[in-house]
Amino acid sequence: MSHKQQNLGRVLVRRARPEDLRYIMPIERASFATPWSEESMRSELSHQDGAVYYVVESDGSVEGYVGAWMYSGEAHILTIAIAPARRGQGLGELLMLTILGHAYKAGCDSAVLEYRVSNKIAEALYLKLGFRPVAVRPGYYTDNNEDAVCALMDDLEDRE
């Protein structure tokens, strides 16, 4: 990964809306071997109880999203994806910081997520942010039976 500074243009992070689905679904399909269905994502974006989603826009174009469920003092980060052409520019970290900040303000004191054991880019970001691996979920991913690392951040109050 390059450490050179990039011009991200005008960047805005905001709560996702159902009308963002037309931008989110192409990113979803480009990012995951088993993407969520449009119907599932539409349900998530309707702000059902506990579901929180953000998008990041750059120069007016949605370039990525993050989603979590917040229940019983815990944020479960469900998904995060950045458009392929915009990866490696800090947008994923910005989205993670946003959702973790939201979780803290919503009264969550911990956050949990899963990622593929082979996803070293995600792993580096999560470790940088303070997540620590706590378990392996064997065969978690149905497309290739890959294991997932379950990572926990149990001190959100220290990160605000």
pLDDT tens-place string over residues 27-56:
999 999 999 999 999 989 886 778 999 999
pLDDT value, residue 46: 84
3-class secondary structure for the chain? CCCCCCCCCCEEEEECCHHHHHHHHHHHHHHCCCCCCHHHHHHHHCCCCCEEEEEEEECCEEEEEEEEEEECCEEEEEEEEECHHHCCCCHHHHHHHHHHHHHHHCCCCEEEEEEECCCHHHHHHHHHHCCEEEEEECCCCCCCCCCEEEEEECCHHHCC
For the cut 60, the answer to whether the pLDDT of residue 6 exceeds it is: no
- Length in residues, the chain: 160
Q: Can you tell me the mean pLDDT for 71-76?
A: 94
pLDDT value, residue 4: 40
Q: Do 89 and 8 contact (CB within 8 A), yes or no?
A: yes
pLDDT tens-place string over residues 121-143:
999 999 999 999 999 999 999 99
Q: Which pTM was predicted?
A: 0.90
Q: Do 154 and 113 contact (CB within 8 A), yes or no?
A: no
pLDDT tens-place string over residues 90-125:
999 999 999 999 999 999 999 999 999 999 999 999
pLDDT value, residue 38: 94
Q: What is the chain's alpha carbon radius of gyration, rounded to the nearest angstrom?
A: 15
For the cut 60, the answer to whether the pLDDT of residue 1 exceeds it is: no
